[in-house]
Amino acid sequence: MQRHFDTELSKLKSTLIKMGSIVEQSIEKSIYALLSQNTELASAVINDDTKINSLEIEIDNTIVDLLALQQPVASDLRFILAAVKINSDLERIGDHAVNIAQSVLNLKKHEQISSSMWETLPVANEVKRITHITKRMLTDALNSFIHFDANLGESVLLVDDVVDMLNLQIITELIGLMKNNGALIDQSLELIRVSRNLERVADLATNIAEDVIFIAKAKNIKHHSAE
Amino acid sequence: MEQTTTKISTSQLNLYYGEKHAIKDISLTIQSNKVTALIGPSGCGKSTFLRSLNRMNDLIDNVRITGTVTIDDVNIYDMNIDVVELRKKVGMIFQKSNPFPKSIYENVAYGPRINGIKEKIMLDEIVEKSLHQAALWDEVKDELHKSGLALSGGQQQRLCIARALAVNPDVLLMDEPASALDPISTTKIEELMYDLKQHYTIVIVTHNMQQAARVSDCTAFFYMGELIEYDATKTIFTMPKKKQTEDYITGRFG
The pLDDT tens digits for B98-147 are: 999 999 999 999 999 998 999 999 999 999 999 999 999 999 999 999 99
* Distance (Å) of CA A98 to CA A84, A93, A197, B97: 22, 9, 10, 61
Tell me if A69 and B214 make a contact (CB, 8 A cut-off).
yes
Question: B16-36 pLDDT, tens per residue?
Answer: 999 999 999 999 999 999 999
pLDDT of residue A39: 93
pLDDT above 60: residue B189? yes
Reference A80, options A100, A62, A57, A102; nearest CA is A62
Tell me if B210 and A71 make a contact (CB, 8 A cut-off).
yes
Q: State mean pLDDT over B51-65.
A: 92
With bands split at pLDDT 50, 70 and 90, how would you rate the model's confidence at B162? Answer: very high
pLDDT of residue A219: 83
> Computed from CA positions of residues B179, B182, B183, B188, in that sequence, does the dihedral angle turn out positive or negative?
negative
Residue A143, C-beta contacts closer than 8 angstroms, at least 6 positions apart: A149, A152
Give a three-class secondary structure readout of B44-60: CCHHHHHHHCCCHHHHC
Whole-model pTM over 0.90? no
Residue of B nearest to A65 (CA): B234
B238 vs A contacts (CB less than 8 Å): 64-65, 68
pLDDT of residue B1: 47
Chain B CB within 8 Å of residue A68 CB: yes
**Contact between residue B200 and residue B170 where contact means Cβ atoms under 8 Å apart:** yes
A179 φ/ψ angles, rounded to the nearest 5 degrees: -60, -40
> Computed from CA positions of residues A140, A146, A152, A153, in that sequence, does the dihedral angle turn out positive or negative?
positive
pLDDT of residue A108: 83
More confident residue, B195 or B253: B195
**Contact between residue B60 and residue B12 where contact means Cβ atoms under 8 Å apart:** no
DSSP characters for B227-247?
A: EEEEEEHHHHHH--SSHHHHH
Which parts of chain A sit beneath pLDDT 50? 226
Q: Mutation test of the interface with chain A: which of B194, B197, B218, B250, choosing the one with the most A Cβ atoms within 10 A?
A: B194
Residue of B nearest to A6 (CA): B191
Of B191, B233, B237, the CB nearest to A4: B191
pLDDT above 80: residue B254? no
Tell me if A71 and B234 make a contact (CB, 8 A cut-off).
no
Reference A109, options A48, A187, A32; nearest CA is A187
Q: Which residues 36-55 of chain A have a CB within 8 Å of chain B?
A: none
With bands split at pLDDT 50, 70 and 90, how would you rate the model's confidence at B226? Answer: very high
Chain A CB within 8 Å of residue B191 CB: yes
How much is the ipTM here? 0.81
Chain B CB within 8 Å of residue A158 CB: no
